[in-house]
């Protein structure tokens, strides 16, 4: 609904207008016959090509650029897909488990890099990792029992950025608030 891909629902979505909304998910695939670097170069708008090296380096993809997509691990595929979307012109990027199958250290590095490069962009980060959303997100929307009576609760996260010290007590309190949300 937020991306404008579902119609026929009742209700209203309000907020500031976003012209370009993209939806990235963890099972999305690129054509297996093209090299990753070739594909990224082809789909990246000219104005954003200066970011290709920075994103591929910080995402740990430099050694994958000559490989075919089908030869990559699941984590590499997810990182390539996310990099491809980040290189587009967007107002809002919905990241639905976009970093699934990516190890924790690399995931952290990627999230910090996204926050550094795109401080003015909007992201909807969908994850089942309570610790991850508690640590990195500013506003956390917890959805409960959506099949019957939808319930949503907003919790304020820690919104960590590179260099900010993680206060374990604050992180634990946020995680408990999420788990106990009802």
Residue 45: C-alpha distances to residues 54, 57, 91, 159 (Å): 15, 19, 15, 30
> Measured in whole angstroms, how far is the alpha carbon of residue 162 from the centre of its chain?
17
pLDDT at residue 12, as a whole number? 64
Region 31-57: what's the mean pLDDT?
Answer: 91
pLDDT at residue 85, as a whole number? 95
Residue 45: both structure tokens together? 């708008």
Q: Provide the whole-model pTM.
A: 0.82
C-alpha angle with apex 100: 161 to 160, nearest 5 degrees? 10
Residue of 157, 91, 156, 79 whose CA lies nearest to 118? 91
Region 79-102: what's the mean pLDDT?
Answer: 93
CB 99 within 8 A of CB 107: yes
Is 91 a residue whose pLDDT tops 70? yes
Question: Could you state, in order of their start, the residue ranges of all structural domains in the chain?
Answer: 20-127, 130-182
Each residue of 133-156: pLDDT tens digit? 888 888 888 877 666 666 777 888
Phi, psi of 11 (to 5 degrees): 120, -170
CA atoms of 58 and 62, how far apart (whole Å): 9
Is 130 a residue whose pLDDT tops 90? no
Phi, psi of 142 (to 5 degrees): -100, 125
C-alpha neighbours within 13 Å on the C-beta side of residue 147:
0
CA atoms of 87 and 113, how far apart (whole Å): 13
**For the structural domain made of 20-127, what CATH number should be given?**
3.40.50.300
- Return the percentage of the chain with pLDDT > 70, whole number: 84
Residues 6+ apart with CB under 8 A from 173: none
The whole-chain average pLDDT of the chain stands at 84
Region 4-16: what's the mean pLDDT?
Answer: 63
DSSP bridge pairs for 123: 93
């Amino acid at each position: 609904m937020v991306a404008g891909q579902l119609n026929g629902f009742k209700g209203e979505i309000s907020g500031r207008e976003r012209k370009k909304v993209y939806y990235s998910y963890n099972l999305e695939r690129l054509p297996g016959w093209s090299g990753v670097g070739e594909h990224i170069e082809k789909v990246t708008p000219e104005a954003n090509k200066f970011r290709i090296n920075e994103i591929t380096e910080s995402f740990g993809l430099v050694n994958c650029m000559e490989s075919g997509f089908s030869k990559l691990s699941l984590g590499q595929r997810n990182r390539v897909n996310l990099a491809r979307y980040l290189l587009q012109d967007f107002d809002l990027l919905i990241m639905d488990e976009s970093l699934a199958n990516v190890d924790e250290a690399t995931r952290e590095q990627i999230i910090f890099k996204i926050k550094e490069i795109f401080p003015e962009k909007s992201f909807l980060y969908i994850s089942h990792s309570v610790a991850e959303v508690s640590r990195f997100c500013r506003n956390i929307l917890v959805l409960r029992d959506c099949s019957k009576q939808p319930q949503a609760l907003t919790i304020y996260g820690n919104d960590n950025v590179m260099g900010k010290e993680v206060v374990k007590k604050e992180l634990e309190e946020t995680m408990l608030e999420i788990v106990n949300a009802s």
